[in-house]
């Protein structure tokens, strides 16, 4: 009998109990008590060793034998836990067959049906054959054989003290088998579970408050990821505050790689205009308070920002993150199409992540681009999102941006889906004045505490930039700053301490504007179509221009 040892280091047995996914293990054995001979567990790969040890330990306490079979080696092992070690003992009664056909790789299903052994058999690597149908006839026939074998296991092994557990990261089952197999999903750990875990691995001089702050920074990761992140962070820092920051950076990078999203902490930004929308953001912040919850008040189910490109929809979402003081997850909705048959699985995991993080903004960028083909996949993803928006209990604020509202399915824009719909339009004179000042202040000190131009100069600039959006104004200022810099200095740039201030003149801005053809002018018909359709659905995000640069405030008589 071949024996393999897997070593896990924890401080003591009590810590091991804390690290067990207690709720998950209880669900598994509750289903076993109800004589379910077939169970599916969806668990991420990084948590696999911890989960196997938890199941094996529970089996030992209940005097139940536990076995493991994996597709990769087609070997059967008995699992035992000895102190800190997970022991795999090869079961020689099971002998793999010569692989003449694909079904021979799954001889374990015949063996478990016919054997007199009792206990729990964990099967790894079968889920890919249990999903929706495929166009490959050979794969299809193998999948049908496996499904039939599993159904026979369920029927023949009832009341036989034998249970087969299907284990894998994606427990997507086809409709004909899903009713036969109860499925359990290993959820992301809660803040309390993470805190319990951290108490066993962090230095004893960390206070409860510090551990709680670190746990909050770790929410959204599994324990195995947190352990790796802690080890990476403590290699270069020991103070709790530094550890929290480094763990947050590690989580940001991990979420980007795993979920293809950006996880952004509340930024420090300025917004030029959009005052009505900003007032709504203040309301959302009040709805996050315990007082609002006491009155059963909630955040809007969703907020939709519609309007031409470059008008500040993404910037507005970041401003909302700043106003509410909560992080933001940025997701390109159209990117889900690239996952094909995995798209629904990816979306399900992402929504579970968002629910666990809880107080966060989920920003769906270019929401309309995910519906350009109007196919079955688009409708299924939209249905998943709508169901989640309707049923969720978490304090998540969903913000979506769209250029072409007509691309969105009607069920997404009807009342009760997105509670607030804002039209983010071309900026008026007063808003363009504010946007110019924000960007000019980045380069020219005169615009930081005061106004560097006269009213007449501003009127010339604002007239020249009519129909320019915020993104184009930023580009104009940056080009003007570059041209000013190039006129001030040759290749021999003096030391930093001797640098004169960069003063951007009106002529440089007008020249940069003349070298740009704004989108609202270049594509006037298309942009006006977007604006008109947004008018029919959205509330204004800006009030009437009441600044001194408003068209109504111009003295036409000089």
Laid out side by side, the sheet with 396-402 consists of 262-264, 328-332, 360-365, 396-402, 303-306, 420-423, 539-540
Query: 7 pLDDT band (50/70/90 cuts)?
Result: very low
**pLDDT tens digits, one per residue of 302-358:** 999 999 999 999 999 999 999 999 999 999 988 877 888 788 889 999 999 999 999
Rounded alpha-carbon distances, angstroms, from residue 108 to 28, 121, 138, 146, 555: 21, 10, 20, 11, 88
CATH code at 3-185: 3.40.50
Mean pLDDT of 237-241: 87
Mean pLDDT of 540-548: 91
**pLDDT tens digits, one per residue of 58-84:** 999 999 999 999 998 899 999 999 887
Q: Give the tokens for residue 128.
A: 């890919």
d(CA 196, CA 191): 9
Length of the chain measured in residues: 558
The pLDDT of residue 11 is above 80: no
Q: Which CATH number fits domain 429-492+499-522: 3.20.20.140, 1.10.8.60, 3.40.50.2000, 3.40.50.2020?
A: 1.10.8.60
The pLDDT of residue 554 is above 60: no
Mean pLDDT of 122-144: 86
Query: What are the φ and ψ backbone dihedral angles of 503, each rounded to 5 degrees?
Result: -115, 115
Per DSSP, the three-state class of 501 is coil
pLDDT for residue 489: 82
Query: What are the φ and ψ backbone dihedral angles of 302, each rounded to 5 degrees?
Result: -170, 155
Of 189, 167, 225, nearest in space to 28 by CA: 167
pLDDT for residue 495: 63
Q: Give the tokens for residue 492.
A: 């021999």
Mean pLDDT of 91-110: 88
Query: 557 pLDDT band (50/70/90 cuts)?
Result: very low
pLDDT for residue 484: 94
Query: Domain-by-domain residue ranges, the chain?
Result: 3-185, 191-259, 275-423, 429-492+499-522
d(CA 462, CA 475): 15
pLDDT for residue 121: 96
The pLDDT of residue 552 is above 80: no
Architecture of domain 275-423: 3-Layer(aba) Sandwich (3.40)
Per DSSP, the three-state class of 93 is coil
Query: 551 pLDDT band (50/70/90 cuts)?
Result: confident
Number of helices (H) and strands (E) in the chain: give both, helices first: 23, 15
pLDDT for residue 479: 97
Percentage of the chain modeled with pLDDT above 70: 93
The pLDDT of residue 505 is above 80: yes
Same topology, domains 3-185 and 275-423? Answer is yes
Mean pLDDT of 234-244: 89
Residues forming a β-bridge with 147: none
Query: 256 pLDDT band (50/70/90 cuts)?
Result: very high
Q: What is the pTM of this model?
A: 0.86
d(CA 80, CA 78): 7
DSSP class of 98: P
Mean pLDDT of 369-387: 85
pLDDT for residue 494: 64
Q: Give the tokens for residue 137.
A: 């006839």
Q: Which secondary-structure segment (H or E) carries 7?
A: strand 3-7
Query: 451 pLDDT band (50/70/90 cuts)?
Result: confident
């Amino acid at each position: 009998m071949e024996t393999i040892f897997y070593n896990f280091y924890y401080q003591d047995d009590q810590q091991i109990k804390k690290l067990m996914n207690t709720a998950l293990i209880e669900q598994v054995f509750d289903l076993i008590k109800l004589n379910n001979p077939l169970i599916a567990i969806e668990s991420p790969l990084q948590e696999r060793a911890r989960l196997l040890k938890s199941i094996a330990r529970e089996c030992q306490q209940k005097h139940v034998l536990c076995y493991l079979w994996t597709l990769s080696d087609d070997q059967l092992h008995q699992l035992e836990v000895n102190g800190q070690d997970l022991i795999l003992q090869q079961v020689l009664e099971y002998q793999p067959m010569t692989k003449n056909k694909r079904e021979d790789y799954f001889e374990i299903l015949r063996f478990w049906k016919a054997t007199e052994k009792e206990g729990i058999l964990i099967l790894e690597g079968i889920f890919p054959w249990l999903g929706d149908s495929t166009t490959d006839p050979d794969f299809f026939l193998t999948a049908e054989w496996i499904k039939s074998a599993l159904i026979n296991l369920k029927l023949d092994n009832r009341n036989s003290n034998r249970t087969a557990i299907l284990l894998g990261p994606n427990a997507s089952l086809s409709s004909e088998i899903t009713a036969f197999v109860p499925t359990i999903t290993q959820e992301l750990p809660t803040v309390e579970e993470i805190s319990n875990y951290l108490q066993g691995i962090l230095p004893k001089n960390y206070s409860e408050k510090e551990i709680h702050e670190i746990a909050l920074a770790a929410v959204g990761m599994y324990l195995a990821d947190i352990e790796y992140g802690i080890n990476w962070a403590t290699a270069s820092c020991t103070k709790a505050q530094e550890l929290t920051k480094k763990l947050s950076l590690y989580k940001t990078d991990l979420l980007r790689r795993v979920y293809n999203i950006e996880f952004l902490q509340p930024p420090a930004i300025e917004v030029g205009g959009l005052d009505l929308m900003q007032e709504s953001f203040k309301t959302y912040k009040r709805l996050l308070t315990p007082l609002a919850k006491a009155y059963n008040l909630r955040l809007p189910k969703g907020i939709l920002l519609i309007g031409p490109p470059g008008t500040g929809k993404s910037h507005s979402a970041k401003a909302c993150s700043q106003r509410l003081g909560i992080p933001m997850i940025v997701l390109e909705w159209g990117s889900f199409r690239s996952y094909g048959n995995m798209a629904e699985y990816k979306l399900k995991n992402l929504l579970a992540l968002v629910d666990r993080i809880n107080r966060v903004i989920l920003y769906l960028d270019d929401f309309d681009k995910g519906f350009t083909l109007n196919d079955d996949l688009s409708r299924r993803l939209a249905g998943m999102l709508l169901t989640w928006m309707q049923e969720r209990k978490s304090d998540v604020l969903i913000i979506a941006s769209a250029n072409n509202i007509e691309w969105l399915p009607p069920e997404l824009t009807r009342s009760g889906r997105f509670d607030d719909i804002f039209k983010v339009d071309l900026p008026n004179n007063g808003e363009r004045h504010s946007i110019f000042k924000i960007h000019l202040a980045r380069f020219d000190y005169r615009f930081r505490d005061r106004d560097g131009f006269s009213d007449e100069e501003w009127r010339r600039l604002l007239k020249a930039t009519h129909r320019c959006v915020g993104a184009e104004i930023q580009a104009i200022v940056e080009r003007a700053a570059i041209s000013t810099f190039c006129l001030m200095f040759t290749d021999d740039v003096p030391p930093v301490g001797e640098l004169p201030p960069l003063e951007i003149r009106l002529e440089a801005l007008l020249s940069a504007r003349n070298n740009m053809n704004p989108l609202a002018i270049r594509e006037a018909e298309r942009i006006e179509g977007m604006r008109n359709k947004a008018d029919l659905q959205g509330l204004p995000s800006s009030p009437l221009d009441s600044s001194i640069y408003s068209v109504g405030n111009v003295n036409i008589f000089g």
